[in-house]
Structure 1
């Protein structure tokens, strides 16, 4: 039985031996989320395999909190304000967000599939921890979640499946199943985001009146690049060599996801880059305030304090780097009848202004 396998490789081998070559999505499921898998314990953070925006600087959580305040206003300021973070990881975003919104009556739930992550999250005061999304909820938040959900891979007119040659995992090309929703990328392998589509299905069933803010790498009409892995803060190209030891990810085609969400009756507002979102939410003002504080520290002879301020401001600038975290996209979904928040309108206007983008 696959469920009895002690390692991802054993589970993958047993699945292939039982049914023949498996989809890339099933390979991902076993490698990332099965027993002994990559996400069995949180692999993120400065000492982990990769970092996300909340780990770069706490101001990210402060600005996300500002965005959520406007969503609460759009919902009529519900009390409690029920926020559910999916893929909460090690809880870094939860901590900074709750600290920044301590004045709000928030009921915060962290969702994680990994038992190890749930155990770690349960130590954070003021949050509930669950394995899956359940109603009621006002806002669902997902930061760098969609890109790690299992997906299928198409290459040309064939689907990539994973088989065995002796003890080695190999790719096997087969005719694709009809009806797979996939990005129309022509320059590299096409991604069929079956896990992300399943998540949108869940949101459609769960959100009675509310929003979902999904933040991730990707593009419009494209995933933005080939699939790849991460381990020890380094890109990994061979994803089959050591399943369970490497993250597996691909960018998100936000046009495809928005179209599918619309087919379920959700409203998908135009997505914006993280750079535009954070700047209109106040990062520029925060950076100028930090610079003023740095100058005051220097004038007062507090050199170490000035260096610390400079270091924090430098880290925070990475959040809007157009070649890095700044190119993440923020997509807001809503149930019918809800208006887009003011920050989204400002970010959309900024993205359309060539002067502001420069």
Structure 2
């Protein structure tokens, strides 16, 4: 999974109609705007410490950052921009929108001299998982000219790389201050099950087909995320579903304002809001929690 995704992201822009999937920031500007509002509000309630930096992990084309930073600047917060991104293709796309940004290959390369306002949207799901059946790690073999799993049965997934990333985020926040929004699809409690999946041309595909040519992800175990963050000393909010959280932050009013400004786009705006919020679409599958430094307030809309 790690090798396939490294090649996959390094060699293409996977987003949009010509790619394999579409993320929330690409659906509507409202998503990034509310992320930016939540982070700016947390910074204000923390006493407006400076220097502070905006950080995004796996920032795609830079769309979420553009929308979030526009709102932050309206709140008189114009932080330096730091992206954790390894794909040369996506870095080039990000540079078009954010020519003054700073890029890093790893979380531990981020500056360590001030609070971080961090967002990880659909970042953790792409980190590699391990699968075990009956206590033995599930492996991949080459049989009869095809890739195949070496065993089947009840699967237990672990994600050491994901735990390591969360611990790195939390440790930085504890040492430097700040808050992080972690947004992804996943489940609230740890449980057995096979969640590894592939997307190709916006359709689910067999995970062992086309290695390196399709997107591989696994559902995020948010209970494990919370455990890893707390073990590093950070505070963790309650888990929220994406739809209700966006509604608590005012997406209905924002959609109405956008539609009033551009009546010819009212249907498009409402469709985007519904796609982000309705429980039968992205609203329930996608969830989020915040990790924040002790002494920092939790971002708005989260317990």
TM-score (norm 1): 0.75
Q: Give the Cα separation in 2 of the matches to 1:218 and 1:111.
A: 22
Q: Deviations over 1:118-158 (max 9, x none)?
A: 22222223422222221334122100111111111123443
Equivalent residue for 2:30?
59
- Cα-Cα RMSD: 2.3
Answer yes or no: is 1:241 the counterpart of 2:199: no
Matched, 1:331 2:289: yes
Aligned counterpart, 2:178: 210
Provide closer, same or farther for how the CA distance between residues 121 and 341 of structure 1 changes in structure 2, counting only shifts above 3 A.
closer
Where does residue 165 of structure 1 map in the other structure?
A: 143
User: Are 1:150 and 2:120 counterparts?
Assistant: no
Local SS of the residue matching 2:80: strand
Residues 248 and 301 in structure 2, CA contact (< 8 A), matched pair in contact too: yes
Please tell me whether residue 29 in structure 1 is matched to residue 2 in structure 2: yes
CA deviation map 1:81-118 (0-9, x unaligned):
31110001111111222223233222111211112222
Q: Between Structure 1 and Structure 2, how many residues are aligned? A: 292
Q: 1:135 aligns with which of 107, 111, 126?
A: 111
Instruction: Give the Å deviation of 1:268.
Output: 1.4
Conserved in 2, the CA contact under 8 Å of 1:50 and 1:232?
yes
Question: C-alpha distance in 1, partners of 2:125/2:162?
Answer: 8
The gaps in structure 2 that reach 5 residues or longer are none
Task: Check conservation: 1:272, 1:329, Cα contact below 8 A.
Answer: yes
List per-residue Cα deviations over 1:154-181 (Å, max 9, x = no partner). Answer: 234432111222542221249xxxxxxx
Q: Which has the larger radius of gyration?
A: 1
Q: Is the 1:72–1:78 contact (alpha carbons within 8 Å) kept by the matching residues of 2?
A: yes
Greater relative CO, 1 or 2 (CA 8 Å, sep 6+): 2
* 1:320 lines up with 2:263 in the alignment: no
1:230 matched to which residue of 2? 199
Tell me, yes or no, if the aligned pair for 1:170 and 1:240 is still in contact at 8 Å: yes
Of 240, 250, 267, which aligns to 1:272? Answer: 240
Which range moved further: 56-65 or 307-316? 307-316
Q: CA deviation at 1:256?
A: 1.6
Query: What's the CA shift for 1:225?
Result: 6.8
Deviations 1:53-84 (A, max 9, x none): 00111111111111111221233212343111
Unaligned stretches of 5+ residues in structure 1:
1-27, 175-186, 295-304, 346-358
Deviations 1:291-344 (CA, angstroms, capped at 9, x unpaired): 6x28xxxxxxxxxx6342222222222110212211211111112222323432
Aligned counterparts of 1:318 and 1:144: Cα–Cα separation in 2: 16
Give the Cα–Cα distance (whole angstroms) in 1 for the partners of residues 79 and 60 of structure 2: 19
Does residue 193 in structure 1 map to residue 159 in structure 2?
A: yes
On the 8 A contact 1:38/1:246 being kept in 2, the answer is no
1:258-280 Cα offsets, whole Å, 9 max, x none, are 11221221211111111121111
Residue aligned with 2:244, SS: helix
Is the aligned partner of 1:123 residue 2:96? yes
